[in-house]
Amino acid sequence: MRKTITLQTRQREQLIDITPEVREIVQASGVQEGIAHIYAQGATAAIMIQENWDASVPSDVVDLLRKLIPPGVWQHDEQDGNGDAHLKAGLVGPSESVPIIDGALGLSTWQGIFFCEFDGPRQQRSIVCTVLADSTG
């Protein structure tokens, strides 16, 4: 099963918790044992599994990446001013896979799935969620 999550971003750089949307897709799939694969479409976006209990953690992630990869100093900035966004997205990565265990996401208590925006705000971002069933489960 494959579904696309669409969302609008409001800041240039932000992490958005998409765990509830992914949970709904997994539940609708009926898969009891398998994998949920979450993929951000776009060269300046990413997916990250991170703590979703304390709002300071996503802020800290954005702050760290800003320090590691500052804007305005990359060759690609001459093209469209978002060289840092491409590098951040590449460093974090476009996808994550989460096991499905007994019909639920196999995340730990404090983990969530985040869409990472590095070149916003954007009217529409797409995240492809593919649910694969374990052939033995």
The stretch 14-33 carries a mean pLDDT of 98
* Whole-number pLDDT of residue 22: 98
> Looking at the predicted structure, is the pLDDT value of residue 52 above 80?
yes
E-state strands within the chain: 2-7, 14-17, 33-41, 45-51, 95-101, 104-105, 111-117, 125-133
The stretch 19-47 carries a mean pLDDT of 98
At residue 14, the 3 state secondary structure works out as strand
The stretch 76-88 carries a mean pLDDT of 92
- Thinking of the domain 2-133, which architecture would CATH place it in? Sandwich (2.60)
Considering the chain, what percentage of its residues have pLDDT values greater than 70? 99
> Looking at the predicted structure, is the pLDDT value of residue 109 above 70?
yes
* Whole-number pLDDT of residue 25: 98
Give pTM, 2 decimals.
0.95
> Looking at the predicted structure, is the pLDDT value of residue 74 above 80?
yes
